Amino acid sequence: MERSLIERTAAEIARGVNRGEHSAAEAVDAALARVGDVEERVGAFLTVLSDDARNRACAIDERVRAGERLPLAGVPLAVKDNMCVTGTRTTCGSRILERWTAPYTATAVRRLEDAGAIVIGKTNLDEFAMGSSCENSALGVTRNPYDLSRVPGGSSGGSAAAVAGYEAAIGVGSDTGGSIREPGAFCNVIGFKPTYGRVSRYGLIAFASSLDQIGPLTRTVEDAALVYDAMAGYDPMDSTSIDRPVEPTAKGLLESLSGLKVGIVRQFDTRELGDDVDEVYDRAYHDLEALGAELHDVSLPTADYGLATYYLIAPAECSSNLARFDGVRYGSRVEAADVQAMYENTRAAGFGPEVKRRILIGTYALSSGYYDAYYVRAQKARTLIARDFEAAFAEVDLIACPAASSPAFTFNAKSDPYSMYMMDYYTIPMSLAGLPALSVPCGWVTPPGGALPLPMGLQFAAPLFSEKLLLGAAHAYESATKHALKHKPEVGARG
């Protein structure tokens, strides 16, 4: 039976539009119809841009009829709502920006539009991208399409849920400490964080500037490569952008892992995660070996310091970046008798509990008398973590490890900050080192008392600027194991 347009990959949709087998308008209409069918249950979007998307589809169809061939022609795109898109409400999931309209479009989004993708809406997220579950949004609840009683992961939960629930073919998110990879694992999609500086951050509302990176959420590795190829490259508007040629990744993806040396991190012992989770990862490692990879033990001695290091550096940068939201220049304002009271009232009403917590942690770490003891020492630890990865990659080509310590959990299951922060244990070290990393579906578990199987993700990490190798290896693993295809989302592929 032929699959409906919403079930097709981005590569398939683009090929069909370029060949005249269907139009961009048809692809967008199919996606918007799906949004109408399931969005009340999933809640992936904060803003749906139906009219803009249909107008954009007509323009794409005209370009194709004129002879252009676009790598993402007519592909419906979901954009995390911390990225600017001209004339759209851009909220960061926060009350303080609830009514703010972006005056320009983020470079990464503009490049995807230039490649033919069509933005159909802005997706929900943990407020200012601070969270691991998407529960911290002040503006809506997003549910995991594979079990609506569970979280989609965060902070890019809305984009992951939109792609997993067939509401969009591709999504973009931002990853600071795991915010693309963890929702990718929870929602049975590919979550890919490129090398820091590889994709422009211009138009991304900053959380932690030395860590934030934009990347794709897709249903296949091939689609992730197509999105990356369209987005990546130097941008003079971003001072952290890397001026280095981009190696195309979508063509020539690996079909085998033969000869690749894959490192298994000694410090990441999965036996403590429970028998079912341990079994999934153990089987994944055996699959890598069966596909021709050579497995080697590698050591990351400072990996255990990753969490503490991150939760000093990221809040410190958050404290600095969020100082601009004061009720004066843009965003919501709560009037008061004087300016100081207005600042206090605006920020008290505009920021949620997690954002306030991180601002306070960061401000304390940067304060006089504590800067050297906390922030400077954290930066030194970050350097040691990066050196450990360099030493490991002198022995192996890639590292394989968990993307998350559990499958998606139920709402409010991790109400204390520590247990929530621990969800980033396996993803934070790669972010601190600036490495490219991704999550690819690797198996399923059914939790005690649960009726629905839940997806798990295997994380691959590679040396700096090794996106082609990373995506190639993930494609070979995905093609051989086909874990993502073994179960459909609870909302159903056809709505």
CA distances from 248 to 46, 75, 199, 255, 478 (A): 33, 19, 13, 17, 19
Q: What are phi and psi of 442, to 5 degrees?
A: -135, 5
pLDDT at 119 exceeding the cut of 90: yes
Over residues 212-230, the mean pLDDT reads: 98
Q: What is the pLDDT of residues 19-49, one digit of tens each?
A: 999 999 999 999 999 999 999 999 999 999 9
Q: What pLDDT is recorded for position 329? A: 85
- 439: annotated active-site residue: no
* Tokens encoding 123: 């997706």
CA distances from 216 to 126, 169, 175, 430 (A): 17, 11, 10, 17
CB 153 within 8 A of CB 134: yes
Residue with tokens 């073994």: 486
CB 45 within 8 A of CB 152: no
Cα gap 161→146, rounded to integer Å: 9
Strands (E), 49-179: 76-80, 118-123, 170-175
Q: What are phi and psi of 450, to 5 degrees?
A: -85, 145
Over residues 47-68, the mean pLDDT reads: 98
Cα gap 159→156, rounded to integer Å: 6
Where do runs of H (alpha helix) occur along 178-220?
Answer: 181-186
Over residues 98-117, the mean pLDDT reads: 98
Q: Which amino acid type is present at position 273? A: L
Residue with tokens 């920020």: 347
> Of 94, 133, 137, 179, which one is the catalytic site residue?
179
pLDDT at 395 exceeding the cut of 50: yes
Q: Which amino acid type is present at position 209? A: S
Strands (E), 54-154: 76-80, 118-123
pLDDT at 493 exceeding the cut of 80: no
Long-range CB contact pairs, 281-288, < 8 A, 24+: 281/402, 281/442, 281/456, 281/458, 283/442, 283/443, 284/400, 284/442, 284/443, 284/458, 285/400, 287/442, 287/477, 287/480, 287/481, 288/257, 288/262, 288/400, 288/477
Q: What pLDDT is recorded for position 476? A: 98
Q: Which amino acid type is present at position 322? A: L
Cα gap 331→325, rounded to integer Å: 7
* Tokens encoding 173: 């998110």
Cα gap 190→111, rounded to integer Å: 20
- Mean pLDDT over the full length of the chain: 96
- Contact residues for 376 (Cβ-Cβ < 8 A; gap 6+): none
* Residue 186 CB neighbour total at 10 angstroms: 36
In this structure, the chain runs to a length of 495
pLDDT at 74 exceeding the cut of 50: yes
Cα gap 295→147, rounded to integer Å: 34
Cα gap 120→77, rounded to integer Å: 6
pLDDT > 90: percent of the chain: 95
Half-sphere CA count of 89, side-chain side, radius 13 A: 18
CB 469 within 8 A of CB 447: no
Residue whose C-alpha is closest to residue 467's, from 237, 205, 213, 295:
213
pLDDT at 492 exceeding the cut of 80: no
Tell the CATH topology of 5-255+399-485: Amidase signature (AS) enzymes (3.90.1300)
pLDDT at 2 exceeding the cut of 80: no
Q: What is the pLDDT of residues 150-195, one digit of tens each?
A: 999 999 999 999 999 999 999 999 999 999 999 999 999 999 999 9
Over residues 111-132, the mean pLDDT reads: 98
Cα gap 179→173, rounded to integer Å: 8
Q: What is the pLDDT of residues 351-393, one digit of tens each?
A: 999 999 999 999 999 998 999 999 999 999 999 999 999 999 9
- 159: annotated active-site residue: no
pLDDT at 495 exceeding the cut of 70: no
pLDDT at 428 exceeding the cut of 70: yes
pLDDT at 494 exceeding the cut of 60: no
One-character DSSP codes across 17-81: HHHTSS-HHHHHHHHHHHHHHHHHHH--EEEE-HHHHHHHHHHHHHHHHTT---TTTT-EEEEET
- 356: annotated active-site residue: no
Over residues 59-73, the mean pLDDT reads: 98
DSSP 466: -
In angstroms, what is the C-alpha Rg of the chain? Answer: 21
pLDDT-derived band of residue 1, with 50, 70 and 90 as boundaries? very low
> Of 155, 156, 210, 405, which one is the catalytic site residue?
155
Q: What pLDDT is recorded for position 151? A: 98
Cα gap 48→122, rounded to integer Å: 7
CB 273 within 8 A of CB 402: yes
Instruction: Give the domain ranges of the chain.
Output: 5-255+399-485
What's the predicted TM-score (pTM) here? 0.97
Q: What is the pLDDT of residues 280-298, one digit of tens each?
A: 999 999 999 999 999 999 9
Q: What is the pLDDT of residues 299-320, one digit of tens each?
A: 999 999 999 999 999 999 999 9
CB 45 within 8 A of CB 123: yes
Packing angle, helices 10-19 and 50-65, rounded to 10? 50
CA distances from 54 to 24, 32, 49, 130 (A): 9, 9, 9, 32
Strands (E), 374-494: 398-402, 437-445, 454-461
DSSP 248: P
Residue whose C-alpha is closest to residue 164's, from 79, 13, 24, 42:
42
The larger pLDDT score, comparing residue 224 to residue 3, is at 224
